Amino acid sequence: MTATLRIAEGHSPAPKSEVGHSVQVKDLDLQFGAVKVLNDLNLDIGEGEFLVLLGPSGCGKSTLLNCIAGLLEPTDGQIWIKGQNVTWKEPNERGIGMVFQSYALYPQMTVEGNLSFGLKNARMPKDEIRRRVARAAEILQIEPLLQRKPGALSGGQRQRVAIGRALVRDVDVFLFDEPLSNLDAKLRADLRVEIKRLHQQLRNTMIYVTHDQVEAMTLADRIAIMKGGVIMQLGTPDEIYNRPQSLYVADFIGSPSMNFITGHLEGGTFKAGGMSGGVVLPMEGYRFATPQVGDRPAVIGIRPEHVITGELVASAPVTHEVTVELVEPMGSDTLVWAQVAGERFRIRMDGQARVAPGDRLPIGIDPSRASLFDKKTEDRL
Amino acid sequence: MAEFSTNPATLGASRMDDGPRGPRPRRVLSSTNIMLYGTLIIVALYYLLPLYVMIVTSLKDMTEIRMGNVFSPPVEVTFQPWVKAWAEACTGVNCDGLSRGFWNSVRILIPSVLLSITIALISGYTLSKWKFKGSEIFFAILIVGAFIPYQVMLYPIVILLRDSGIGISNAINTVWLPVCETFGGECRRVRVQLFGSLSGLVIVHSIFGMPILTLLFRNYFASIPEELFKAARVDGAGFWGILFRIMLPMSLPILVVAIILQVTGIWNDFLFGVVYTRAEAYPMTVQLNNIVNSVQGIKEYNVNMAATLLTGLVPLTIYFVSGKLFVRGIAAGAVKG
Amino acid sequence: MTTLDAIEAPGEQRARRPIRPFHNIWPKIALTPMIATALVVFLGGTIWTVVYSFTSSGLLPRTDWVGFAQYQRLWSTPKWNIAIRNLAFFGVFSLSFTLVIGFTLAALLDRKIRGEAVFRTIFLYPFALSFIVTGLVWQWILNPEFGVQGIVRSMGWTSFNFDPLHNPDIVMLGILIAGLWQGTGLIMVIMLAGLRGIDEDIWKAARVDGIPTWKTYVVVIIPMMRPVFVTAIVLISSGIIKLYDLVVAQTSGGPGISSEVPATYVMTAMFGGQNLGQGFAASTMMLLFVAAILVPWALLEFGGRKRG
């Protein structure tokens, strides 16, 4: 908990826009019976920001989104949107639009009916409704579909209509609840780009829940990694990827995931392994989180794609030699499995590299790109 | 390794040998099939027998009935028994046939079906999408109540209907009589009677239809995705808006099932008809029983069977027309009924 | 916005969410009829009847407490004892025959039969009829002169005797025949749904293992259908206890009192004999019978689920 707060204060960049906060979550608690789903959660989202809530299933990310939408009542705490306390407001009074995973289109209404239902409920003049539906349809290129029923649409088309339903509301905050999870891989990539384009065009605040790290990394201004109802780290995709604040985040982000070697930090040098195959890494150039870091058991994390191979090994700060155990060619690149200091170690090489099990492979490591964690607290050093 | 390699000798042999090939031949008249269909046809005939007996008996005249047996087909077809059953058969002093009971049943049926389905629809919707603390407990009591023998609750309901009838009358009169008197004219006390009247029976049918119908609607609405409900709330629809604009248009299939369930159930009811109405308001089943089982006069079996068939005609028509939906209805009812 | 000043003073106080009692009032209003029915009619009515079964109520309900006197009188009345015996006979045979016939028909229909829909429609149609209709048809078919007995005699077996509705010894058999005719279709439908719910691969596995069809049913399928059988048994049993219309239509409890059942006993006591106390006591006994079926079932169904 303290870690979360420290991170939120110390490392997150100031919200992009100086106009102010768009959505604020204050001390939010949610309990279902004895189960705490959200625990004293705080979050500030800047105006026009694209924030992604990322985490494994059951981490509370969708629950948090439902609380912001007003679909779930918090046990304690407040939700503020645009400087107004909306904790007691009905969902439609909060100035939000929401896109659901299963599209949640009204099956008996046409696309046009789906888009205009919310506006009719708000007793908006007919002309205005027509204007807004036309604009949303144009932006999303669904004009030819307006008179169709949802049943006659493809998955991608349905999701566009669902986004359109949020769009016509002309609201400041868009909420996305895993909107692309029901689509196949190719369509997902297409719509991902479209959502990004939409954000660039509209500059609304968007809060986006997903368990897909590619979506998170590509879309987000900031990512909040959640676990057990708590935000583990809040930061830009770059920070999350390069400077994970905890072992959990480091392990969660990246595919294939980070290599971890357990050892000791002694006088600014990381040492692991025994007589054979041990590594010694002088942590020169590594940016420690605090100036004075004493000796202690530690875990070093090295991303497979940060391991240097080929001709560049000679110029690497630290070099090592491993025996190739297994090779997974993946086309664009090749994943090589080996062992370092007695632990499994993955190396990402160019797709053209020719290696075979049993080969001796020289590798280079740059400690400045590694991540060092306290073994006990699992926090970044 | 060598043993696993294809042996040219065996390979060649199987190709040349004219062994089994293509689909295995099947005999249509295998002994299993004869047994299977034979049993089914015999059982089916047994199930159809009473329907056949009703039809042939109702088309014979009494002399023919006395000469033959229940199964013999009519030599000379007559519709006289049907006419008599509908318009002339006697119960006690009334001799205007089953038609009176038919129309009573219709008058009971329509408001009962409407009221019971409306209440259950709203309750089921609330229980599935707007749960509040304790709502499930009341529903549990209701479902347990469905298993209690009706006899246990018959008399308390008699008292309930009588007293609330009196209560409502008094409430109306305390307001109505003074108002009426200030404007002069002849003022009669309003008398609302729930026990022994059609409206009382309508209430009783709504009460006893409630557990199964509420369960039916609750489960149906629960199967509608939660996200649709959330989307409607974001769109600003409230309790009634979501019900009428989103849920109701989607619930046509379950409405049909509920209507089938209630129409057949209420039409076939005998017990509540006997207890909660008077002779002139008896539903068709009660009147049928009175006609057939009346002790006076000679037994006119053809008229009796015509009357019986007439009473069974409404549910039978619904059954044969609705087919699968009826099965769905009773299967839903059967799960907890 | 009275809460607006809260922005100006951040941090110090924890954000709180007060309680709103009148929040979302419509659901509560909408559920009132159901709650009233559950509490007043089902719960209240049942308690009322049980309480008044300990009084000497005759023509009208009275609060004149007599302890278990009504129950003592009930169990010493021959008519009630006959009713219980009839219910036991009807119950045992109705339950076992309905299960066997219902399952057999379902299993036959499950053998990928041509015209399955036709057979299913025929087996189920009696269920759509009123018990009164069923009772009256079978009363006519069992008519001694023109019905089954008459036909067999006219074929030459003149000493043949089968007149259940006028023979006190076998009158319940006549009612059982009609009851089975009406009720088996429903159980067949339930069993068929259960059979259809069984994984197709089970049948494939049994075929690969070379288990004969009938044995697959007995050893594999029926044990897998345990929940379906439990549902069917609960359903049939609660139907048995409710048995009333059929008796009224076929025999009116006769000949004499030989086909009385608990439900007919209650009805005569309450609305015919002006003997409310007996009616209340008898209906309370019926409630106990239901409880005797439901409580073990509920414990099996819901108690077991929590543990597993």
Higher-pLDDT residue of B189 and A262 is A262
Determine the Cα–Cα distance for residues B313 and B106; give it in Å rounded to an integer: 13
Structure tokens at C171: 């009158």
Structure tokens at A118: 């919310």
Residue C94 — pLDDT band, cuts 50, 70, 90? Answer: very high
Asked whether C269 and C275 are in contact (CB, 8 A), the reply is yes
How do residues C123-163 score in pLDDT, each as one tens digit? Answer: 999 998 999 999 999 999 998 888 888 888 888 888 888 88
Model confidence at B43: pLDDT above 70? yes
Determine the Cα–Cα distance for residues C165 and A139; give it in Å rounded to an integer: 80
Nearest residue to B126 (alpha-carbon basis) of B117, B136, B116, B112: B136
In this structure, the answer to whether residues B59 and B126 fall within a common structural domain is no
What residues in C contact A70, CB-CB < 8 Å? none
CA dihedral C86, C92, C97, C100 (to 10 degrees): 170
Specify if B179 maps to a domain: no
Which residue type does B191 have?
R
In this structure, the answer to whether residues B111 and B43 fall within a common structural domain is no
**DSSP summary character for residue B25:** P
Structure tokens at A360: 């001796």
Determine the Cα–Cα distance for residues C230 and A21; give it in Å rounded to an integer: 60
Residue C304 — pLDDT band, cuts 50, 70, 90? Answer: low
Say whether B154 and C294 touch across the interface (CB within 8 A).
no
**Secondary structure class of A1 (helix, strand, coil):** coil
Determine the Cα–Cα distance for residues A77 and C153; give it in Å rounded to an integer: 88
Work out the minimum CA distance from A27 to partner chain C, whole angstroms. Answer: 6
Enter the ipTM.
Answer: 0.84
**Secondary structure class of C153 (helix, strand, coil):** helix
The string of DSSP letters for B48-89 reads HHHHHHHHHHHTS-HHHHHHS-TTSPPSS---HHHHHHHHT-
Determine the Cα–Cα distance for residues B275 and B272; give it in Å rounded to an integer: 5
Specify if B10 maps to a domain: no
Asked whether C34 and B214 are in contact (CB, 8 A), the reply is yes
How do residues C271-295 score in pLDDT, each as one tens digit? Answer: 887 889 999 999 999 999 999 888 8
Contact A165/B at CB under 8 A: yes
Give the pLDDT mean for B268-282.
Answer: 88
Work out the minimum CA distance from B225 to partner chain A, whole angstroms. Answer: 8
- By the 10 Å C-beta count (0-12 exposed, 13-18 middle, 19+ buried), A81 is classed as buried
How do residues A90-121 score in pLDDT, each as one tens digit? Answer: 888 888 888 988 888 888 889 999 998 888 88
Contact A108/B at CB under 8 A: yes
Question: Which pLDDT belongs to residue C10?
Answer: 40
Determine the Cα–Cα distance for residues C253 and C244; give it in Å rounded to an integer: 10
Sheet of A371-374, strand order: A279-282, A269-272, A259-266, A296-302, A371-374
Determine the Cα–Cα distance for residues A167 and A186; give it in Å rounded to an integer: 24
Mean pLDDT, rounded, of chain A: 86
How do residues A195-239 score in pLDDT, each as one tens digit? Answer: 999 999 888 899 999 999 999 999 999 999 999 999 999 999 999
The widest CA-to-CA distance across chain A, in whole angstroms, is 80
The angle, 0 to 180 degrees and rounded to 10, between the axes of the packed helices C171-196 and C131-141 is 130
Mutate to test the interface with C, among B152, B298, B322, B328 (most CBs of C within 10 A): B152
CB atoms within 10 A of CB A198: 18
**DSSP summary character for residue A257:** P
Question: Which pLDDT belongs to residue C158?
Answer: 82
With a CB cutoff of 8 Å and minimum separation 6, the contacts of B178 are: none
Say whether B316 and C125 touch across the interface (CB within 8 A).
yes
Which of A334-348, B115-129, C243-257 is predicted most confidently?
A: B115-129
Work out the minimum CA distance from B234 to partner chain A, whole angstroms. Answer: 5
Nearest residue to A9 (alpha-carbon basis) of A205, A234, A226: A234
Q: Compute φ and ψ for B26, nearest 5 degrees.
A: -125, 140
In this structure, the answer to whether residues B145 and B286 fall within a common structural domain is yes
Structure tokens at A144: 């030819």
CA-based radius of gyration for chain C = 27
Contact C17/A at CB under 8 A: yes
Peptide bond preceding C255: is omega within 30 degrees of 0, i.e. cis? yes
CA-CA-CA-CA torsion sign (B45, B51, B54, B60): negative
Model confidence at C174: pLDDT above 80? yes
What residues in B contact A93, CB-CB < 8 Å? 236
What is the dotted CATH code of the domain comprising C69-307? 1.10.3720.10
With a CB cutoff of 8 Å and minimum separation 6, the contacts of C276 are: B155, C52, C57, C58, C59, C60, C61, C269, C270
Determine the Cα–Cα distance for residues C248 and C259; give it in Å rounded to an integer: 9
CB atoms within 10 A of CB C27: 17
CA-based radius of gyration for chain A = 24
Which alpha helices (DSSP H) does chain B contain, by range?
A: 8-16, 31-58, 62-67, 80-87, 99-129, 135-145, 150-182, 198-223, 226-234, 239-241, 248-250, 252-268, 271-276, 284-292, 301-322, 324-335
Work out the minimum CA distance from B256 to partner chain A, whole angstroms. Answer: 17
- By the 10 Å C-beta count (0-12 exposed, 13-18 middle, 19+ buried), B213 is classed as buried
Say whether B231 and A165 touch across the interface (CB within 8 A).
yes
Where along chain A do its domains lie?
A: 2-95+171-250, 257-374
Question: Which pLDDT belongs to residue C160?
Answer: 84
Determine the Cα–Cα distance for residues B120 and C271; give it in Å rounded to an integer: 31
- By the 10 Å C-beta count (0-12 exposed, 13-18 middle, 19+ buried), B24 is classed as exposed
How do residues B241-255 score in pLDDT, each as one tens digit? Answer: 999 999 999 888 889
Q: What is the CATH number of the domain that holds B223?
A: 1.10.3720.10
Structural domain of B274: 99-152+198-335
Q: Which chains form contacts with chain B, at 3 or more CB pairs under 8 Å? A: A, C
Determine the Cα–Cα distance for residues A34 and B233; give it in Å rounded to an integer: 27
In this structure, the answer to whether residues B136 and B44 fall within a common structural domain is no
CB atoms within 10 A of CB C198: 15
The CATH architecture that domain A257-374 belongs to is Beta Barrel (2.40)
Question: Which pLDDT belongs to residue B80?
Answer: 86
Model confidence at B300: pLDDT above 90? no
What residues in B contact C139, CB-CB < 8 Å? 292
b/e sequence A273-307, b meaning 16+ C-beta within 10 Å: beeebebebebeebeebeeebeeeebbbbbbbebb
Residue C99 — pLDDT band, cuts 50, 70, 90? Answer: very high
Top CATH class of A2-95+171-250 equals alpha beta
Provide the number of CB pairs (under 8 Å) joining chain A to chain B: 62
Say whether B152 and C294 touch across the interface (CB within 8 A).
no
Of B231, B236, B249, the CB nearest to A98: B231
In this structure, the answer to whether residues B240 and B308 fall within a common structural domain is yes
Asked whether C287 and B152 are in contact (CB, 8 A), the reply is yes
In this structure, the answer to whether residues B68 and B107 fall within a common structural domain is no
Determine the Cα–Cα distance for residues A327 and A330; give it in Å rounded to an integer: 10
Mutate to test the interface with B, among C22, C133, C187 (most CBs of B within 10 A): C133
**pTM, two decimal places:** 0.81
Determine the Cα–Cα distance for residues A107 and A85; give it in Å rounded to an integer: 34
Question: Which pLDDT belongs to residue A247?
Answer: 93
Determine the Cα–Cα distance for residues A29 and A40; give it in Å rounded to an integer: 5
Mean pLDDT, rounded, of chain B: 84
What residues in C contact B214, CB-CB < 8 Å? 34
Peptide bond preceding A256: is omega within 30 degrees of 0, i.e. cis? yes
Work out the minimum CA distance from B253 to partner chain A, whole angstroms. Answer: 13
Question: Which pLDDT belongs to residue B184?
Answer: 72
Say whether C17 and A26 touch across the interface (CB within 8 A).
no
Of A76, A83, A84, the CB nearest to C17: A76
Pairing relation of β-strands A259-266 and A296-302?
antiparallel
In this structure, the answer to whether residues B103 and B57 fall within a common structural domain is no
Work out the minimum CA distance from C231 to partner chain B, whole angstroms. Answer: 7
In this structure, the answer to whether residues B38 and B136 fall within a common structural domain is no
Contact C61/B at CB under 8 A: yes
Determine the Cα–Cα distance for residues A17 and B323; give it in Å rounded to an integer: 64
Determine the Cα–Cα distance for residues A326 and A335; give it in Å rounded to an integer: 8
Determine the Cα–Cα distance for residues A198 and A210; give it in Å rounded to an integer: 18
Percent residues over pLDDT 90 in chain A: 40
Of A69, A104, A121, the CB nearest to B237: A121
Which residue type does A121 have?
N
Pairing relation of β-strands A279-282 and A269-272?
antiparallel
Higher-pLDDT residue of A152 and C112 is A152
**Secondary structure class of B224 (helix, strand, coil):** coil
Pairing relation of β-strands A279-282 and A296-302?
unpaired
Looking at the structure of chain B, the number of domains it has is 2
**Secondary structure class of A175 (helix, strand, coil):** strand
Q: Which H/E stretch holds residue A24?
A: strand A21-32
Determine the Cα–Cα distance for residues C189 and B319; give it in Å rounded to an integer: 14
How do residues C242-266 score in pLDDT, each as one tens digit? Answer: 899 999 999 988 788 899 999 999 9
